[in-house]
Structure 1
Amino acid sequence: MSATAAIERTFREEYGRVVASLTRRFGDLDVAEDAAAEALLVALERWPVDGTPPNPGGWLTTTAGNKALDRLRRERKRDAKHQAALMISDDTPHEPTGIVEDDRLRLIFTCCHPALAPEARVALTLRLLGGLTVAEIAAAFLVPETTMAQRITRAKAKIKGAHIPFRVPSAADLSDRLGAVLAVVYLVFNEGYLSSSQDAEPLREELTDEAIRLGRMLRTLLPDEPEVAGLLALMLLTDSRRPSRVAGGELVPLHEQDRAGWDRDLIAEGHALVRECLARNRPGQYQLLAAVNAVHTDARTAADTDWRQIATLYTHLQAIAPSPFVTLNRAIALAELDGPEVALAEVDRLPLASYHAWHATRADLLRRLGRSAEAREAYDAAIAATANAAERAYLARRRDQLSST
């Protein structure tokens, strides 16, 4: 008799006893029979090699008992595994994301909670979602980095302490949060258009592109909001000049740029949005800034620029959204209309001593007035106030072109 036949005969002789024993132990005949069959397979593999055990029936009972235990453990885990598999392939509808479908834009609306002060919510959102460092945000607000860090920390503490819910915004939330959201998008764009970071490229296309993408999403979401159209137009018209902004490692000012290199498709799109805003006749700060850029991009040459219209637009802007930045830009237009001396008187009254563009504007006005020594000091101050390598190179060249008198 072969070894296999001997094992099978032993199994037949012990089978009934093994199954009965397992059935009493586990209370399940099917489990007992399957376990006994698995024990036979193990015996067929091992006994020809290891030899028949002294107590074949006991060996079969023990081995079958272990197999039954393994099966019962698998059965207990099966439901949990099935649930996990269902979670992976769950075809139940997702929880609604609300009216804002884009993930990043939805988070920006969520973070711009009206319970926070406007500057705090903008700063916090720029830090969490805009990809800007504390130093870059501080530069945008013209405050020291430590001050901005404290603002962001206090905003986080208020959220935690007051249990402010950061939930998916509903349609009713949008109007209360829109102003802060527009400010976030515009500041992200500005950081990309002229980086304030020494370690970054002078122009950061990833930021300007993302800001414009968010602007387009806002336009789709809120097609009847003129300030949304105005912001998108402003970014498109500004970005249209990007190809001519830097040359030879230097920033190129607007009046020196090669206008043939401007993106005419973006200009056409921006002008169409500005015309739409004018037809609505509900002016806001972004619409007026877009209109200023429309005047610049409409001029075939720098000499063709309609400075009177630009000054008028800044006057309107000063009336609805007064700020020293608006006054500074209006003064630049006045310099073209009334001369650098009138403009310098306006500029010198502004509290912008930490702003590099204020120093750069003063330097240019002083240069035009022939006050070279003062202009050189102003250029030095402007260089010290900016970390942008291309801007520093341009300012240094202009300073070095001054006469020694």
Structure 2
Amino acid sequence: MDEAALRTLTPAVIGILVRRGADFAEAEDAVQDALVEAVRVWPDDPPRDPKGWLVTVAWRKFLDTARAHSSRRQREERIEAEPVPGPAEAVDDTLQLYFLCAHPSLTPASSVALTLRAVGGLTTRQIAQAYLVPEATMAQRISRAKRTVSGVRFNQPGDVATVLRVLYLVFNEGYSGEVDLAAEAIRLTRQLAAAIDHPEVAGLLALMLLHHARRPARTGPDGSLVPLAEQDRSLWDTRLIAEGVDILQAALARDRLGEFQAQAAIAALHADARTAEETDWVQIVEWYDELVHLTDSPVARLNRAVAVGEADGPRAGLAALAALDDALPRHTAVAAYLRERDGDLATAARLYAEAADKAPNLPERDHLTRQAARLNALLRS
């Protein structure tokens, strides 16, 4: 049984139960119970209509819970009688479920957890393992999120930009535990792209594919971080790159530029270069100019300073960097790189060591420490 295919049915089944009168939190719980039952039953007795089977079983589980509730009479007055098993309704509330899970009343962490649970069909244990937190902690987070949105109806337009940011947060978590969150984010974004015709959805999907294509080359055999310029490009997934570029070109042709399309264009230019030396840094700077215009993001400005340093020389990059707050994450690492490019090895070594102390994760810290050690060895020789 393909569990990934099974999970794709989750949001549609939750939507059907909500339309029938179930509260969102109860509908989500019932569908999770039905998924567990499917994993147990389907290998030996696969249904002809998987979605219809899930709807029937989930609805029965919801009714069982409703009847056991202390306010049974009031609840039974507002819910439908159990429908006769048959083909599932054609209505698909997947898009509204994305919007609900990215509701503005939720924190980003809660939105991510609820999206993975309700839209992705992952178990609480899988989500907790992926985020390296105790299962009880994640269960509380999901329960609070479900209570927050339980009264929200499926009749309000959602904010696509918020949904995309939630999916991008999932993607950037990468891999941890048994669930590959980068691959899961791509799957969910493909699903969203099938439900809504929006150039920024396509832009995010293209960006994810282009970044994911480089994943095999990002770390060495020992798990050490490999910078983009030093990656073995023969390890890049050319199929994903081609798909990402095609999706991006179709989105850009609609002339409704957004931040994810701009980021994807930058990633495509990196992917198009057969060697680091062939990278078209002038075009990359132009795309960063577009991204800064769209978002005014300090992170975009920091990355633009790197690109300027490559396109116009390290001193130009340092001048661009000087205009930014030096408390910005990775600011010190960028300054170290540009100082080294400018030949100031002593300052670069000191800055690499400082950046290592501020690094957000162990692989990045180890990489920066090695860079400082390399330069110090050169200075001593």
Query: In which range does the TM-score fall when normalised by the shorter chain?
Result: 0.5 to 0.7
The percentage of aligned residue pairs carrying the same residue is 41
* Structure 1 letter corresponding to 2:270: H
Distance in 1 separating the partners of 2:321 and 2:171: 26
Aligned to 1:294: 268
Q: What whole-Å deviation, never above 9, does each CA across 1:216-254 have from its counterpart, x for those lacking one?
A: 0011001x2000000000000000000100003211111
- Give the 3 Å change call, closer, same or farther, for CA 301–98 of structure 1 in structure 2: same
- Give the 3 Å change call, closer, same or farther, for CA 129–112 of structure 1 in structure 2: closer
Q: How do 1:251-400 and structure 2 match up within 5 A?
A: 251-351=225-325, 353=327, 355=329, 357-400=330-373
Once the two structures are overlaid, the 10-residue window that deviates more, 334-343 or 363-372, is 363-372
Aligned to 2:93: 100
Q: How do 1:119-158 and structure 2 match up within 5 A?
A: 121-129=107-115, 131=127
Unaligned runs of 5+ in 1: 1-79, 138-151, 194-199
**How many matched pairs?**
283
- Give the 3 Å change call, closer, same or farther, for CA 98–340 of structure 1 in structure 2: farther
* Structure 1 letter corresponding to 2:277: A
Aligned to 1:241: 214
- Give the 3 Å change call, closer, same or farther, for CA 401–288 of structure 1 in structure 2: same
- Give the 3 Å change call, closer, same or farther, for CA 123–397 of structure 1 in structure 2: same
Distance in 2 separating the partners of 1:127 and 1:353: 29
Distance in 2 separating the partners of 1:275 and 1:164: 37
Aligned to 1:91: 84
Unaligned runs of 5+ in 2: 1-63, 69-79, 117-126, 134-139
Q: Report if the CA contact (8 A) 1:136-1:191 is conserved.
A: no
What's the offset of the Cα at 1:369? 2.1
Aligned to 1:188: 170
Aligned to 1:146: none
Distance in 2 separating the partners of 1:219 and 1:208: 16
- Give the 3 Å change call, closer, same or farther, for CA 327–205 of structure 1 in structure 2: farther
Q: What whole-Å deviation, never above 9, does each CA across 1:84-134 have from its counterpart, x for those lacking one?
A: 9xx9x9635799796433xxx7654213224x3xxx54343125445489x
What's the offset of the Cα at 1:366? 1.5
Aligned to 1:217: 191
Q: What whole-Å deviation, never above 9, does each CA across 1:160-198 have from its counterpart, x for those lacking one?
A: 7xx76544634x52xx321111001011111217xxxxx
Does 1:169 find its partner at 2:160? no
Instruction: Pick the aligned partner of 2:102 from 112, 132, 135.
Output: 112
For the aligned residue pairs, the C-alpha RMSD in angstroms reads 3.6
Distance in 2 separating the partners of 1:107 and 1:252: 38
Q: Which has the larger radius of gyration?
A: 1
Aligned to 1:404: 379
Distance in 1 separating the partners of 2:346 and 2:90: 60
- Give the 3 Å change call, closer, same or farther, for CA 320–296 of structure 1 in structure 2: same
What's the offset of the Cα at 1:256? 0.7
Distance in 1 separating the partners of 2:128 and 2:290: 31
TM-score by length of 1: 0.61
- Give the 3 Å change call, closer, same or farther, for CA 111–397 of structure 1 in structure 2: same
Q: Helix, strand or coil: the match of 1:251?
A: coil
* Structure 2 letter corresponding to 1:258: D
What's the offset of the Cα at 1:264? 0.7
Q: Report if the CA contact (8 A) 2:298-2:328 is conserved.
A: no
Distance in 2 separating the partners of 1:259 and 1:166: 50
Q: Report if the CA contact (8 A) 1:230-1:290 is conserved.
A: yes
Once the two structures are overlaid, the 10-residue window that deviates more, 248-257 or 307-316, is 248-257
Distance in 1 separating the partners of 2:279 and 2:312: 15
TM-score by length of 2: 0.65
- Give the 3 Å change call, closer, same or farther, for CA 169–301 of structure 1 in structure 2: farther
Distance in 2 separating the partners of 1:220 and 1:290: 19
Q: Helix, strand or coil: the match of 2:257?
A: coil
Q: Report if the CA contact (8 A) 1:111-1:121 is conserved.
A: no
- Give the 3 Å change call, closer, same or farther, for CA 166–186 of structure 1 in structure 2: farther
